[in-house]
Amino acid sequence: MTATHLRLLSAAACLFATAAAFAAEPRPPFTPPSAAAIPDNDFGRAVREGEQIFLHTPQKAGKFVGNDLNCASCHLDAGRRPDSAPMWAAYVLYPAYRAKNGHVNTLAERLQGCFRFSMNGKAPPADDPTLTALQTYMFWLASKAPTGVVLEGQGYRKLPPPAQKADYVRGSEVYAQYCAVCHGAEGQGQKNGKHWVFPALWGADSFNWGAGMHQIGNAAGFIKANMPLGQAGMLSDQEAWDVAYFMNAHERPQDPRYTESVAATRAKYHDSDDSLYGIEVNGHLLGSDSPPSGGKLTQAAAKAGG
């Protein structure tokens, strides 16, 4: 082995050691300010407007929302709860590169994606007051947080791979025991009037195939850290994986990026073990019978044009 090879190996070892040390570095904790601390001035009113959009998204931003979910359906406690993709932890990390669309995203673009996929709607313009209010609310939650630092509780919890491959039948049993009482036997959720008390987990009223929660790993991490509601941590890792698989093995609105066929769309956007889109489960090819993307917005447009 030449001296050059030795130097290269030494440099590589140093880089790996540095990366490992960085990955092992503990994430600093952070507590967002309380809602009661929002100031009573023009800025505070913008913060409160963002909070209300977050909590009542179809009512406050209906022209961009195709289902009846709220931002808080997935980002619990008004975007405050750790391990529920809290807004204060997200704010400090943008702009950021996202593999999902292959370029650096601003925070506004990231929120546009939430409306398009999780809300099964359409993206507000980047300068729309809706996005301004939501970003103001996120800025407030992240007050005094270090910028560019991954904070404790950021995103969804990353679970280790399951001891056994995630299973539909076991997942259905977990769902029936722990989830159906809130989300319904058919995943349809529960409403009080027009307001969702518990969100739909699949079907026409849920998030579409482009949303991050359709990925089994995201769903399992969210479920493990937060469900059943008020009893977080009750499920084992295996149960969380199984019920996440079960939830995401049902049809939901079509991915708005759909092109040509389910197979082509899977190859371009879902070619991963983390996605069941384009996979046959119980004799059904997922994605082949999806309701159109856009939900209520698509239906309203069809009526207006018809």
Residues 135, 176: one domain?
no
187 and 288, same domain (yes or no): yes
pLDDT digits (tens, 9 = 90+) for 39-83: 999 999 999 999 999 999 999 999 999 999 999 999 999 999 999
Question: Are 138 and 237 members of one domain?
Answer: no
Per-residue model confidence (pLDDT) at position 95 = 97
**Looking at residue 306, what is its pLDDT?**
59
If asked whether residues 50 and 108 sit together in one domain, one would say yes
Which structural domain range is residue 48 located in?
Answer: 41-142
* Domain-located, residue 216: yes
**Residue that finishes a domain, picked among 98, 125, 142:** 142
Q: Which helix (H) or strand (E) holds 76?
A: helix 76-79
Looking at the DSSP bridge assignments, the partners of residue 285 are: 280
CA 39 – CA 168 distance, rounded (Å): 49
Report yes or no on 88 lying in a domain: yes
Q: Which two tokens stand for residue 204?
A: 């026409």
Report whether the peptide linkage leading into residue 125 is cis, meaning its omega lies within 30 degrees of zero. Answer: no
Q: Could you read off the pLDDT of 182-213 as tens digits, one per residue?
A: 999 999 999 887 777 899 999 999 999 999 99
Q: How many domains does the chain have?
A: 2
Residue 36 lies in a domain: no
For residue 183, is it within any domain?
Answer: yes
Alpha helix positions (H), 129-227: 129-141, 168-174, 180-183, 216-226
| Residue 47 located in a structural domain | yes
- Looking up residue 90, the CATH number of its domain turns out to be 1.10.760.10
pLDDT band at 24 (very low <50, low <70, confident <90, very high): low
Residue type, 116: R
Does 208 lie in the same domain as 125? no
Same domain, 189 and 237: yes
CA end-to-end span of the chain: 75
**pLDDT tens string 127-166:** 999 999 999 999 999 999 999 999 999 999 999 999 999 9
Residues 49 and 136 occupy one common structural domain: yes
Q: Which of 98, 124, 142 is the last residue of a domain?
A: 142
Structure tokens at 211: 């949303």
Q: Are residues 175 and 117 in the same domain?
A: no
Report how far residue 186's alpha carbon sits from residue 236's, in angstroms, rounded to the nearest whole number: 23
Residue 153 is assigned to a structural domain of this protein: no
Q: Are residues 109 and 184 in the same domain?
A: no
Q: How many CB atoms lie within 10 A of CB 170?
A: 17
- DSSP H/E element including 284: strand 284-285
Tell me if 32 is assigned to some domain: no
Same domain for 259 and 194: yes
Which of 124, 142, 160 is at the close of a domain?
A: 142
Residue 186 and residue 133 share a domain: no
Residue 28 lies in a domain: no
Does residue 199 sit in the same domain as residue 249?
yes
